Chains A and B, each alone.
Chain A
């Protein structure tokens, strides 16, 4: 009878895990459209709830007090940060959550290892991968968090012999892996030493992977770390032989990889180039010193006169809009222009901002309808028909050098070709070059007008011109 009962329970829990997997898959499918996305997220959350409840009923769980403690504290921290976070800080938030996911998988793997009795080589290999990926995800995400929130400098950190040092750490990681899986007791005296060594190396490796990457390349890094956090969960699934961890982890891993790929394509660079080249570390020594001509500054009154007469207007937001918190002012200006009879669209480059879709979320927060947000390939063919283009805090994604100048570091990157519009307004703090230190010839074109100052301030001034 007891045998039958335990048999039934394990069947039921396996079926429930399959059910949870189906809910995750369907939830992700519904994220494919803004109309169904919210319900998709709820469906995915209910899958998680099902998986958690069925696990809590597992007969191997002997005590609940520690579980409740962990869940209660985690829920308080998670819920309060989700409610309090500003939309402009979303990249940091996703980065740190990725890190926590990786750390949780690492802790599960460590616990299983130290609990270890008769573990075969396959389980040990899975433990090794869990610790490695989980550790790299954790410290890599912490560095990404630091760079995004500007606790540490967003500039790439490059030093002599960096590749050699990375290589040595990688070799050490492989040796530590062999120690864990096959040669137990050769290098280290006990399990604690083995695991501490491995975790220590994985932590260092995570830091080393992210420090050479500049702030403007963060969309790629976050997408990649997102993928890693899924793969860590997946590896943990092989440690405890649980199908729902494997399915869910693989879905997240695939999702992160696709976003990584989209971001790399949008910059016309390979993943290896993003990860290892220290893009943006070169300061303006070589090519940007040459004078490219005169810029044409404009006052907000004059900008108003041109915008007032324009029939079609394209707004191109970039990271500068997020920094200046200008999204609400931009939406207000857009509405005034529409009320004035103009057609207003927002062109969003895939790598604008600090994470995939960053600009879309900010504009959604400011109540901009998602159907007026367009992608570069939709708007480039009709650029000549645009009367006025408003570039707000974007720089590299509108740099004509990407298609005209073979010597430019960003040559070949698909851009929003605003220079072909009738008039281009560039809202910018000063003439200091952008993050990558690349000069932008757009600023010197005859159809470009520079509206210097804080983006939010400048937009507000144009708005008050409209209202007066």
Chain B
């Protein structure tokens, strides 16, 4: 229970921190911000890896975990690459 309270504490602080950080992003960068944030939400990959590798045999958890690894990896790899591609186009003369 103690660890849950601690994690809730982390949650609340992170939300406030997120609001502070994102409010400062100019509207010019809103699209890369969204795709970059989208890539970060692929962090669920960490949970997916733990499920996918949790057993030697192909249990239901391993199966669902592997599917989750697939989708989260699309999110992470695609998200960061496309954000990088967009940001490389922002130039000042």
Contact = CB atoms under 8 A, between A and B. Distances in A.
A and B: interacting chains: yes
Interface of A: 24-25, 27-29, 31-34, 37-38, 40-42, 44-45, 48, 51-52, 55-56, 58, 60-64, 66-67, 69-71, 73-75, 77-79, 81-83, 85, 87, 90, 93-94, 97-98, 100-101, 103-105, 107-108, 110-112, 114-115, 122, 222-223, 226, 229-230, 232-234, 236-259, 262, 348, 350, 355-358, 360-361, 364-365, 367, 369-371, 373, 375
B35 A97 contact: yes
Contact of A63 (B39, B53, B61): B53
Given A230-B41, A240-B50, A255 B22 contact: yes
Interface SS of chain B: helix
B54 A62 contact: yes
Residue among B47, B79, B87 having the largest count of chain A Cβ atoms under 10 Å: B47
B66 to A, nearest CB: 4
A249 B43 contact: yes
Contacts of B80: 41, 44-45, 48
B3 to A, nearest CB: 6
A90 B87 CA distance: 13
Nearest to A24: B40
B44 A101 contact: yes
A255 B33 contact: yes
Contacts of A93: 35, 78, 82
A82 B47 contact: no
A59 B47 CA distance: 14
B73 A78 contact: yes
Contacts of A100: 71-72, 74-75
Contacts, number: 379
A82 B53 CA distance: 27
14 contacts: A38-B88, A61-B49, A66-B62, A103-B71, A104-B68, A104-B71, A108-B65, A111-B62, A229-B38, A243-B10, A251-B17, A254-B22, A255-B22, A259-B34
Residue among B38, B44, B70, B89 having the largest count of chain A Cβ atoms under 10 Å: B44
A251 B28 contact: no
B38 A66 contact: no
A463 to B, nearest CB: 20
Nearest to B4: A122
B55 A97 contact: no
B74 A74 contact: yes
B84 A357 contact: no
Contacts of B46: 51-52, 55, 242, 244-245
Contacts of B77: 74-75, 78-79, 82
A83 B83 CA distance: 11
Given A108-B68, A355-B34, A238 B79 contact: no
Given A97-B35, A112-B51, A71 B69 contact: yes
Contact of A357 (B30, B49, B62): B30
Contacts of A108: 44, 47-48, 51, 64-65, 68
A232 B48 CA distance: 13
A48 B49 contact: no
Given A32-B24, A94-B35, A233-B43, A82 B69 contact: no
A246 B17 contact: no
Nearest to B78: A78
Given A41-B87, A77-B78, A356-B27, A67 B37 contact: no
Given A255-B37, A370-B91, A248 B64 contact: no
A258 B37 contact: no
Given A348-B27, A367-B91, A83 B81 contact: yes
B29 A34 contact: yes
A48 B48 contact: no
A71 B73 CA distance: 6
Contacts of A365: 89
Nearest to A251: B18
Contact of A232 (B34, B44, B66): B44
Contacts of B55: 62-63
A34 B80 CA distance: 16
B10 A246 contact: yes
Given A70-B68, A253-B18, A370-B92, 13 more contacts: A41-B84, A60-B54, A63-B62, A64-B53, A78-B76, A100-B71, A104-B42, A107-B51, A110-B64, A114-B60, A245-B43, A258-B23, A357-B32
